[in-house]
Structure 1
Amino acid sequence: MTNSNLGTRAPIDTKKQGKRERLTAAAVKMLHEQGVEKTTLADIAQAANVPVGNVYYYFKSKDALVDAAIDAHAQRLRAMIAALDELATPPERLKALIGGWVEQRDLAARFGCPFGTLCSELDKRADGLDRNAAKVVQLLIDWCQQQFRAMGRRDSRDLAVALIAAYQGISLLTNTLRDPQLMTREGRRLERWIDSLAD
């Protein structure tokens, strides 16, 4: 399933999107590539093709833009879940999720997981943005838990956490070692794991 992982970035379409939407999409992109601390409002404005003076009309601060980026990740996750739910069985849904992660291996090798890296940065703060980001991760864990429960697994919560932890771990290694094939191999292993749980 194309672009099905948490935090997949949509391209910034400067012709069809309004300025607020372009700024949000640019924030998602720049925060992933540069991190929260290094990214300036000027960086985001330039990536969105919006004059920097106009940014404050839509967002009062950089933190407001970070919060909008978190919300954009949440919206994409909900859309992804809706698409995955169209598949017939829980193992198919979980393997499609894994396939989407693997499709993003080159992006992960360059910058890490689009949302995991943001969560890691925000965890060092205590301004509420960290909790907003945690809610998005919780949404994915809850959905995975539902899939494992539908497979008849009493340990569905533990399995859901293990799956997300495996993805975040391989994203970190893929990024650290700049080796996309690590994610490819881990994706195959996770698919076999899902199959073994369904037997």
Structure 2
Amino acid sequence: MTPRLSIVSWVTNSVDRRVRASQKRQRLMAAAARVLHEQGVERTTLADIAREADVPVGNVYYYFKTKDELVRAALGEHTAHLDELTARLDRLPDPRDRLKALVEAWVEQRDVAARYGCPTGTLATELGKRGDGTLDAEAGAVIRRLLDWAARQFREMRLSGPDDPDDLALTLVAGYQGMSLLANALRDPGVMTREGARLLDWLGSLR
């Protein structure tokens, strides 16, 4: 093999290794988001994450040294999912339709909500009880990201009423958190359907 081919081969292999490492880390992040949502922070072990991601537990320790690092990774997944969702919604020309589509997306997850609650909301609640004030603030930042996006839609609607767009966004997201909590507490996905319909009617009534 010529020196030039050796260099090309080394570069190619190096890139492949980085790609595989990135994919494995991403798989672990997605697994962390799922397991933490289903089991909660306290009940989840690094072995649970490894099992969900179908990797040796040593791989988890390689990428994430502590459970807190995994929680932070899960919050990153929630942020990425939110950004993907809002990017799709932003393709709709009408801000009211974007908000309605958001509610419909929430209702589509009614079975998951009834079983485990809102992914970010339940995590924020659990982290808020820890008292160290770090990860709970990061969970709150994900919810704030949703509030800011919703407020932009209400602002773009140019409503004639007295309500502030930020307050309307808070009403909308509080409605989602409330119906997710009740659906989970009652193990009744129908709560999401009924309350989602109320939110849609409310959005349609705003002028």
Same fold (TM over 0.5): yes
5 Å matches for 1:160-175?
A: 160-175=169-184
Deviation at 1:18, TM superposition (A): 2.5
Count of residues paired in the alignment: 183
Deviation at 1:177, TM superposition (A): 0.5
Distance 2:73 2:122 in 1: 16
State the match for 1:155 in structure 2: 164
Structure 1 residues 9-46: Cα deviation after superposition (integer angstroms, max 9, x where no partner): xxxxxx9x822111111111110110000000011111
State the match for 2:79 in structure 1: 74
Structure 1 residues 155-182: Cα deviation after superposition (integer angstroms, max 9, x where no partner): 1111100100000000000011111111
Deviation at 1:127, TM superposition (A): 4.5
| Structure 2: runs of 5 or more not aligned | 1-19
Distance 1:85 1:179 in 2: 31
SS of structure 2 residue aligned to 1:115: helix
Distance 1:76 1:176 in 2: 24
5 Å matches for 1:24-173?
A: 24-125=29-130, 126-153=132-159, 154-173=163-182
8 Å Cα contact 2:78-2:120 kept in structure 1: yes
Structure 1 residues 127-162: Cα deviation after superposition (integer angstroms, max 9, x where no partner): 411111111111100111111111114511111001
Distance 2:189 2:49 in 1: 27
- Give the TM-score taking structure 1 as reference length: 0.88
Distance 1:184 1:127 in 2: 34
Distance 2:178 2:137 in 1: 21
Higher radius of gyration, 1 or 2: 2
- Give the TM-score taking structure 2 as reference length: 0.85
Distance 1:181 1:74 in 2: 27
State the match for 1:195 in structure 2: 204
Displaced runs of 4 or more, over 2 A: none
How large is the RMSD of aligned CA atoms in angstroms? 1.4
Distance 1:151 1:134 in 2: 26
Distance 1:156 1:134 in 2: 19
| Structure 1: runs of 5 or more not aligned | 1-14
State the match for 1:186 in structure 2: 195
1:177 corresponds, among 186, 193, 202, to 186
Distance 1:189 1:127 in 2: 35
Percent sequence identity over matched residues? 59
Structure 1 residues 73-97: Cα deviation after superposition (integer angstroms, max 9, x where no partner): 1111111111111001111000000
Structure ranking higher in helix proportion: 2
SS of structure 1 residue aligned to 2:65: coil
